Structure 1
């Protein structure tokens, strides 16, 4: 299934706002929050739902946890699920949980691990898998490849789709002293499943992808530039805390829709009339 239009990350705290969005294209929901069925509020939306995993640790040296693999396969079989997604990251090592998405060394050895784990997941799922580029506050000293080279090689090996997080591209470029647009153009853009956009802020000289701050103007402008260059994937807003008043959240959705050349989906909400 090919996604089109504007989506949002579904969270219980903003489910009332999401329920009023007009022609919402899709929702993404944390896979680990799901059980044997979708939450009733999400079920009533009757839109495609993408379970988004955060704990598989695809880039970790430890073997994948069979229980986590089994759970992801279970939620992939729920009604209205066209694909599932996870992160190009690791979250545990030696039995120790990091509590964060940590960057994988951009080495051929790490590519071998990712290829093995992604192939295993693909064989376990009833729907396609897409993987997301993460925001990294550091690079490993033994990196052998650029991020673009690493992603391209991974996709060539596994034929996995890409969840392109445009805000993460901006974060990594800013923190590495690089040009965000140049870095974005180097990525394997022909393999995009859908895109993320989220907010962040600068602390101690580093840009942090917080998902609890408004989307910066520079990130919206990067999306606009991306669209003007002829790229029109489905795109969604992520917000994971510090939820703003409804009118501010709707304003962010409108700004994203405008930048991506999509129709606004907020016109019929009660907050749009206040």
Structure 2
């Protein structure tokens, strides 16, 4: 069975995490009952790094489930200075959780003091790349564990790009030594919305830097695919997950669900679909079948 195996390390020094589910209060009971989960991810902004942890999180830690803080407000691609107070709190939270890694997004969320409330895409220019690298390095210096960077879904792209998305991400990882949190649903969304080949994208990423993988549901509206985290996983996303597992052994894969929470049986079915896609890809990789 594909699941967590203690603290075994992958090539980039990342522990083998196995199958995961994003922790939300609405899913807490399901997560507690689902004994095949190797890790969960918590929204870092929902936790007080100086306060006590919720009892369900403490119980998960007691039984050996890895807990990873996932940030959404650091704004690594913003022109404004990083919030050093929040960085310190994020580091304290990672330490309290015993987390092997902290994750954040390749995005910006504020400008001119205005909060967007969304993960906004970055213009893929050399100037933006230099700014992002500088901010990632500052964050890494402040955190007690490695930082993993996540690709985001975009409905529009900035004009005058100087490189494609895969090249942009690869260079950020190369220049910073950061890890990659690859959201395979976002790969599908961007390939579908912007007309590029998702398999060629995977082949150009430094998959040896992979920390773990996100999978989520979405829906197509008026010709655009929306990454909603509130709908079932689209079959092409599971196909891409299998293709990713053909290319490299996956440290862990986590299902995100943030709204319209379905019955527990439906969530369990999606977790089984994820597991099956990974196992199919593993088998093809081991047999040398492309």
TM-score by length of 1: 0.92
* Deviation >6 Å, runs of 4+: none
Match of 2:33 among 20, 43, 47: 20
Aligned partners of 1:20, 1:124: CA distance in 2, in Å?
35
| Pair 65,230 (structure 1): closer, same or farther in 2 beyond 3 Å | closer
Tell me, yes or no, if the aligned pair for 1:131 and 1:161 is still in contact at 8 Å: yes
Which position in structure 2 is the counterpart of 1:126? 144
Q: 3-state SS of the aligned residue for 1:252?
A: helix
Aligned length: 262
Which position in structure 2 is the counterpart of 1:38? 53
Tell me, yes or no, if the aligned pair for 1:148 and 1:188 is still in contact at 8 Å: no
Which position in structure 1 is the counterpart of 2:21? 8
Equivalent positions of 1:149-164 (< 5 A) are 149-164=167-182
Displacement after TM superposition at 1:82 (Å): 1.1
Aligned partners of 1:5, 1:147: CA distance in 2, in Å?
27
Identify which range, 95-104 or 31-40, moves more after superposition. Answer: 31-40
Q: 3-state SS of the aligned residue for 1:134?
A: coil
Bigger relative contact order, structure 1 or 2 (CA pairs below 8 A, ≥6 apart): 1
Match of 1:104 among 106, 122, 132: 122
Displacement after TM superposition at 1:111 (Å): 1.0
Aligned partners of 1:189, 1:228: CA distance in 2, in Å?
11
Q: 3-state SS of the aligned residue for 1:19?
A: helix
1:210-239 deviations in Å (ceiling 9; x for gaps): 101111111111112222344333111000
Structure 2 alignment gaps of length 5 or more: 1-13, 281-290
Tell me, yes or no, if the aligned pair for 2:210 and 2:250 is still in contact at 8 Å: no
- Confirm or deny that 1:244 pairs with 2:257: no
Aligned partners of 2:47, 2:166: CA distance in 1, in Å?
32
Which position in structure 2 is the counterpart of 1:147? 165
